[in-house]
Amino acid sequence: MMRLRRHRALRLALRARNGERRTATVTDRRMMRTALRLAQKAADEGEVPVGAVVYRGDGDDAEILAEAHNTREARRDPAGHAEITVIAAAAKRIGDWRLTECTLVVTLEPCIMCAGAIVNARLGRLVYGAHDPKAGAVASLYRLCEDQRLNHRITPIGGLMARHASAQLKAFFRERRRVRKQERQAERS
């Protein structure tokens, strides 16, 4: 069974290197719904609403290895991104830093730090929701996961449930601006 999984992961990696584009699966959609729930939990805790899930397998056999959401504010940790936390937890769970058989599903396009961790963890697949025009390192500003100079490449699948993920982020920042405006007005009074 393990050989079949490794063989499948290697086949997927070769397809990615050859420029073959893939589409999101039903399992990816289910995992994105979980990631969106985690993002909402982050927002409820005052964190930027980003949620992430690492899973392996497909369909009914899919196994969630780790779940996380942003924790930068609570932990006062600049590396407290959902992707970093979930990758570390998944690696710990399987006892290997190589996550070649795994898929990372995240609600927002990863930044440079997270894209680097994705490449270094040798993730088999990456699926993300909303694009990030200010800090996205997978498609918007850079294409780090597909950089030919690196020894591991991933063909990302972007835009899955992007409207919902984007709406979560916009609502969070709209509320944050409203609260800050009220605080400034109260200070002036």
Across residues 114-135, what is the average pLDDT? Answer: 98
Q: Note the pLDDT of residue 2.
A: 47
Give whole-number Cα distances, 150 to 6, 69, 135, in Å. 21, 28, 20
Is 45 one of the annotated active-site residues of the chain?
no
pLDDT tens-digit profile of 24-59?
Answer: 999 999 999 999 999 999 999 999 999 999 999 999
pLDDT tens-digit profile of 156-175?
Answer: 999 999 999 999 999 999 99
Starting at the earlier edge strand, list the strands of the sheet with 51-56. 63-69, 51-56, 102-108, 125-130
Q: Which of 67, 83, 101, 109 is catalytic?
A: 83
CA distance 141 to 144: 9
Total-model pTM? 0.87
Across residues 71-81, what is the average pLDDT? Answer: 97
CA distance 85 to 89: 6
